[in-house]
């Protein structure tokens, strides 16, 4: 891998770390900070700084170092992580992101403009570092005459007891072997030794340079460091162990408390790699063992039986049941398997993935042409081969599309920051509630839905949620709620953006629409049609313009962008209760399972996921509905809608489709069966065509149009909710 590829990896990983850092900071802002969350924030900043240093990006190192120092003080309980500091650290994360973006744009040197923007943030961070802080509370001392021993085994070594049961040492012994990948992970081994000094005094330290290979097998990017450390401190074992938290998975760390049993050192000598005499000499040099204790330990080392597994010991002592031990071992195995699974993940360039999907689409078309030729030739062997090929192509298609499916939770999580910043700016207390994070959809859809969702969320915060004073008057909780939800329904993904605010004012919207000439007085409109007027360009009922909204710009963009994705948007609102905007879009923009229908000589395709069933056409003359097992089913005559000339088929059929809870029948001439449909855009010239979402190429080379079922239902006027009374409209117009 060359330096440019490594730099791209740094950029991608830094953005991911900044995203996790932002998520953790927002979690702290909404609840009491826990040590693990604070460590996650520190770990993100520390890793970015270390990685930036490897590429000589000193301007990123300099800024991140100050933020890291503040977070380090937070870890030591010297600085409180309050709402003000959270907001500052979020701004710092944004600035680090801007520095990384500059590197991504090719500006690896210091950018004067960005440096100037970062100076106020650095000054604010320095005020935390220069402020006087209380000294850390020392660990409580044990009562006189009592020996404190951590993690001491229950069984004792009788051979070691012949000399002494315990050593006379009054300090901890830390045996540390850094893993080979420590440098690659952006970690500095000596920084952990320096940090260790904050908890106490290093009495002696022995470095192990002889672990470096002497031949050509040495890797300059690998770490070969190891230390034996005599450490004097009043801290407990958990505090000392926490020093090495960020490298624990890659290192071999053993910590023995003061006055440990000699059997503990015997076990240490036996488990560490290398010759026992050499390891014993290191313990002697560190002052951990006396010559007499070392001699006893080395003499006993060869006589000690292999250590018994802790699970077997507990079972033998009847402390726990065998089933409990088996469950614990199974859990450990699952953790190891999960880590192994993580190591098998690879990054794939998005352009390569898109190219793969395009090639799979062409493969689907070619397979359809081959199958058509085989059926025309009626060669049994060829038909069998094409049947096998079609099955394999379908499996390849499904797996290829699965590669582009991502969970929407990543998109939802970014709105935590939007809600945090906007609610603080306008002085409202608002909480974001997210559900359905595991719902998957096409990556291309995810990327294009972010802007519409951002408009809707900001609109809910600014217009939907009332001020705390108004909410108190209406008997509502002071904290408002914005909800994001996602789920699958009939081959589509449904995303809902809701709030518990004041709701839309129906009469006000209707009056504004009449004022602008969007509707005629006396016209009967449903609630959905009235609320849908807010998506008209320039339409706004806001009494005053704010920095966020009120100019009538944004909602029309929302609808236009969603429609461009072959989706639909609807609004349900109740004044004084809240508003919910429902977005419905296809799961993928590339390949779908289609069902071919014939209208004369023309072929159309309907998405299979929206089809419930197919029935024979049967209707009373002059009616536009039929009786489907006791239920009224309205239908649409596609011949009339699309203007297809010619005589109808002797036996017509009805394809029953469903969308957003509405069922309707499509009257067609013939049913031609399922077809793997590669969606091709119609092009800008045909953007004005309604009820058609795209096209596809059939096996014969002919082009078939794909029916847009949601638009078809709306175009035919099949939805008939509660309408505006003529008298009401006339009164508003007057």
Highest mean pLDDT of the ranges 293-302, 400-409, 519-528, 636-645: 636-645
List the Cα angle 225/229/232 in 5-degree steps.
Answer: 150
Answer for the pair 119, 80: CB distance below 8 angstroms, yes or no.
no
DSSP one-letter code for 710: H
Answer whether residue 201 is part of any domain.
Answer: yes
Q: What Å distances lie between residue 334 and 266, 328, 337, 706, CA to CA?
A: 31, 10, 5, 46
Answer whether residue 335 is part of any domain.
Answer: no
Lowest-pLDDT range of 315-329, 441-455, 573-587: 315-329
Answer for the pair 251, 178: CB distance below 8 angstroms, yes or no.
yes
- Given a cut of 90, is residue 343 above it in pLDDT? no
Same domain, 442 and 376: no
Long-range contact set of residues 125-130: C-beta below 8 Å, sequence gap at least 24: 125/66, 125/67, 125/69, 125/70, 125/88, 125/92, 126/66, 128/70, 128/73, 128/79, 128/85, 129/66, 129/69, 129/70, 129/73
* Percent of the chain clearing pLDDT 90 (strictly above): 9
Q: In what order do the strands lie in the sheet with 602-607?
A: 670-678, 591-599, 602-607, 703-707, 692-697
Q: What Å distances lie between residue 634 and 490, 527, 596, 618, 666, CA to CA?
A: 19, 21, 21, 12, 9
DSSP one-letter code for 319: S
Highest mean pLDDT of the ranges 45-59, 349-363, 595-609: 595-609
Answer for the pair 111, 220: CB distance below 8 angstroms, yes or no.
no
Answer whether residue 496 is part of any domain.
Answer: yes
Confidence of residue 552 (pLDDT cuts 50, 70, 90): very low
- Given a cut of 60, is residue 321 above it in pLDDT? no
Domain C-terminal end among 570, 586, 602:
586
Same domain, 388 and 426: no
- Given a cut of 60, is residue 523 above it in pLDDT? yes
**CA 592 – CA 678 distance, rounded (Å):** 7
Instruction: Locate all alpha helices (DSSP H) within 31-82, ordered by sequence.
Output: 35-54, 58-75
Lowest-pLDDT range of 75-84, 300-309, 696-705: 300-309
- How confident is the model at residue 496, as a pLDDT? 93
Mean pLDDT value across residues 414-429: 85
DSSP three-state, residue 251: coil
Same domain, 80 and 170: no
Same domain, 104 and 238: no
Answer whether residue 141 is part of any domain.
Answer: no
- How confident is the model at residue 679, as a pLDDT? 80
- Given a cut of 50, is residue 723 above it in pLDDT? no
Highest mean pLDDT of the ranges 318-332, 629-643, 717-731: 629-643
Sequence-ordered strand ranges (E) for 219-275: 226-232, 252-256
- How confident is the model at residue 160, as a pLDDT? 34
Answer whether residue 657 is part of any domain.
Answer: yes
Instruction: Report phi then psi at 252, rounded to 5.
Output: -110, 110
DSSP one-letter code for 681: -
Lowest-pLDDT range of 4-8, 157-161, 231-235, 434-438: 157-161
Higher-pLDDT residue of 257, 168: 257
Q: What Å distances lie between residue 727 and 521, 527, 574, 734, CA to CA?
A: 10, 16, 22, 11
- How confident is the model at residue 316, as a pLDDT? 58
- Given a cut of 80, is residue 249 above it in pLDDT? no
Same domain, 87 and 214: no
Same domain, 91 and 68: yes
Higher-pLDDT residue of 156, 536: 536
The CATH number linked to 293 is 3.30.70.240
Same domain, 89 and 196: no
The CATH number linked to 662 is 2.40.50.180
Answer whether residue 630 is part of any domain.
Answer: yes
Buried b (16+ CB within 10 A) or exposed e, 186-212: bbebeebbeebeebbebbebeebeeee
What pLDDT, in 10s, does the model give residues 99-114?
999 999 888 888 888 9
Mean pLDDT value across residues 31-49: 82
**CA 677 – CA 108 distance, rounded (Å):** 46
Highest mean pLDDT of the ranges 110-119, 224-233, 250-259, 640-649: 110-119
Same domain, 67 and 186: no
- Given a cut of 90, is residue 96 above it in pLDDT? yes
The CATH number linked to 19 is 1.20.120.160
Mean pLDDT value across residues 690-707: 82
**CA 265 – CA 683 distance, rounded (Å):** 76
- Given a cut of 80, is residue 428 above it in pLDDT? yes
Residues 6+ positions from 58 with CB-CB distance below 8 Å: 52, 110
Same domain, 625 and 652: yes
**CA 391 – CA 398 distance, rounded (Å):** 11
Rg for the chain (alpha carbons), in Å? 35
Highest mean pLDDT of the ranges 71-85, 493-507, 538-552: 493-507
Determine how many CB atoms are found less than 10 A away from the CB of residue 523.
Answer: 15
Domain C-terminal end among 553, 586, 619:
586
- How confident is the model at residue 734, as a pLDDT? 37
**CA 633 – CA 426 distance, rounded (Å):** 49
Same domain, 387 and 423: no
- Given a cut of 50, is residue 306 above it in pLDDT? no
Same domain, 580 and 651: no
- How confident is the model at residue 516, as a pLDDT? 80
Higher-pLDDT residue of 714, 457: 457
Highest mean pLDDT of the ranges 144-153, 295-304, 341-350: 341-350
Sequence-ordered strand ranges (E) for 150-200: 172-177
Domain C-terminal end among 378, 403, 428:
403
Higher-pLDDT residue of 40, 274: 40
Lowest-pLDDT range of 83-87, 217-221, 233-237, 368-372: 217-221
Question: What is the chain's mean pLDDT, rounded?
Answer: 77
Residue 614 burial (10 A CB sphere; 0-12, 13-18, 19+): middle
The count of domains in the chain is 5
Highest mean pLDDT of the ranges 8-17, 302-311, 336-345, 709-718: 8-17
The tokens describing 709, both together, are 């079922």
Higher-pLDDT residue of 209, 537: 537
- Given a cut of 90, is residue 205 above it in pLDDT? no
- How confident is the model at residue 483, as a pLDDT? 93
DSSP three-state, residue 571: strand
SS (H, E, C) 616-631: ECCCCCCCCEEEECCE
- Report CA 79 to chain centroid distance, whole Å: 30
Higher-pLDDT residue of 475, 262: 475
Give 694's strand partners.
706
Answer whether residue 152 is part of any domain.
Answer: no
What pLDDT, in 10s, does the model give residues 222-244?
888 888 888 888 888 878 888 88
Same domain, 112 and 257: no
Domain that holds residue 525: 413-586
- How confident is the model at residue 135, as a pLDDT? 37
Answer whether residue 340 is part of any domain.
Answer: no
The tokens describing 547, both together, are 């920095």
């Amino acid at each position: 891998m060359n330096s440019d590829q490594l730099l791209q990896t740094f950029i991608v990983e830094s953005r991911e770390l900044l995203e996790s850092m932002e998520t953790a900071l927002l979690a702290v802002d909404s609840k009491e900070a826990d040590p693990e969350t604070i460590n996650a924030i520190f770990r993100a900043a520390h890793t970015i700084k270390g990685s930036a240093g490897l590429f000589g990006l000193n301007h990123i190192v300099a800024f991140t170092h100050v933020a890291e120092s503040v977070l380090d003080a937070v870890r030591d309980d010297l600085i409180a992580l309050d709402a003000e500091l959270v907001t500052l650290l979020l701004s710092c994360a944004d600035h680090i992101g801007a520095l990384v973006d500059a590197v991504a744009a090719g500006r690896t040197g210091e950018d004067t403009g960005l440096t100037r923007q970062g100076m106020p943030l650095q000054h604010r961070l320095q005020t935390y570092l220069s402020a006087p802080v209380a000294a850390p509370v020392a660990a409580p001392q044990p009562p006189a005459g009592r020996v404190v021993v951590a993690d001491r085994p229950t069984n004792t070594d009788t051979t070691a007891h012949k000399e002494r049961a315990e050593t006379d040492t009054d300090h901890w012994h830390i045996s540390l072997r850094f893993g080979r990948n420590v440098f690659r992970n952006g970690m500095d081994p000596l920084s952990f030794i320096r940090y260790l000094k904050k908890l106490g005094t290093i009495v002696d330290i022995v470095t192990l340079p002889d672990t470096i290979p002497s031949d050509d097998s040495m890797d300059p990017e690998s770490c070969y460091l190891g230390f034996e450390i005599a450490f004097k401190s009043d801290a407990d074992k958990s505090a000392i162990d926490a020093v090495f938290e960020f490298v624990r998975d890659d290192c071999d760390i053993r910590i023995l408390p003061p006055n440990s049993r000699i059997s503990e050192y015997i076990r240490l000598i036996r488990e560490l790699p290398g010759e026992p005499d050499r390891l014993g000499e290191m313990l002697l040099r560190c002052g951990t063992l006396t010559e007499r204790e070392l001699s006893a330990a080395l003499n006993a080392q060869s006589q000690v039986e292999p250590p018994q597994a802790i699970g077997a010991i507990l079972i033998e002592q009847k402390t726990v049941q065998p089933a409990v031990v088996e469950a614990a071992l199974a859990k450990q195995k699952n953790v190891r398997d999960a880590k192994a699974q993580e190591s098998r993940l690879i990054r794939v360039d998005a352009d390569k993935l898109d190219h793969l999907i395009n090639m799979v689409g062409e493969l689907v078309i070619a397979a359809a042409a081959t199958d058509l030729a085989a059926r025309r030739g009626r060669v049994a062997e060829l038909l069998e081969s094409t049947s096998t090929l079609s099955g394999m192509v379908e499996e390849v298609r499904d797996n290829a599309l699965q590669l582009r499916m991502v969970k929407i939770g990543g998109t939802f999580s970014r709105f935590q920051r939007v809600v945090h910043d906007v609610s603080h700016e306008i002085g409202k207390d608002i909480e974001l509630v997210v559900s359905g994070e595991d719902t998957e959809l096409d990556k291309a859809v995810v990327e294009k839905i972010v802007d519409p969702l951002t408009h809707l969320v900001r609109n809910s915060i600014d217009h939907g949620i009332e001020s705390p004073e108004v909410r108190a008057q209406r008997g509502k909780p002071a904290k408002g709620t914005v909800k994001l939800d996602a789920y699958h329904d009939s081959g589509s993904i449904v995303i809902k953006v809701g709030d518990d605010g004041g709701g839309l004012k129906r009469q006000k919207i209707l009056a504004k629409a009449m004022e602008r000439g969007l509707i005629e007085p006396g016209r009967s409109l449903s609630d959905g049609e009235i609320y849908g007027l807010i998506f008209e360009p320039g339409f706004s009922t806001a009494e005053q313009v704010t920095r966020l909204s009120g100019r009538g710009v944004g909602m029309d963009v929302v609808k236009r962008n969603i429609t461009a994705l072959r989706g639909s948007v609807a609004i349900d609102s109740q004044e004084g209760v809240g508003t919910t905007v429902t977005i419905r879009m296809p799961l993928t923009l590339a390949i779908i399972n289609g069902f071919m229908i014939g209208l004369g000589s023309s072929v159309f395709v309907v998405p299979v996921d929206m089809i419930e069933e197919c029935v024979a056409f049967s209707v009373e003359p002059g009616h536009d509905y039929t009786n489907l097992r006791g239920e009224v089913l309205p239908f649409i005559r596609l011949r009339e809608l699309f203007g297809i000339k010619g005589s109808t088929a002797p036996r017509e059929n009805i394809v029953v489709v469903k969308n957003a809870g509405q069922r309707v029948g499509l009257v067609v001439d013939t049913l031609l069966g399922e077809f793997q449909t590669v969606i091709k855009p119609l092009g800008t010239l045909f953007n004005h065509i309604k009820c058609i979402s795209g096209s596809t190429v059939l096996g014969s080379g002919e082009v078939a149009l794909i029916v847009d079922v949601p638009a078809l239902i709306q175009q035919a006027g099949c939805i008939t909710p509660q309408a505006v009374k003529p008298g009401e409209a006339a009164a508003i117009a007057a």
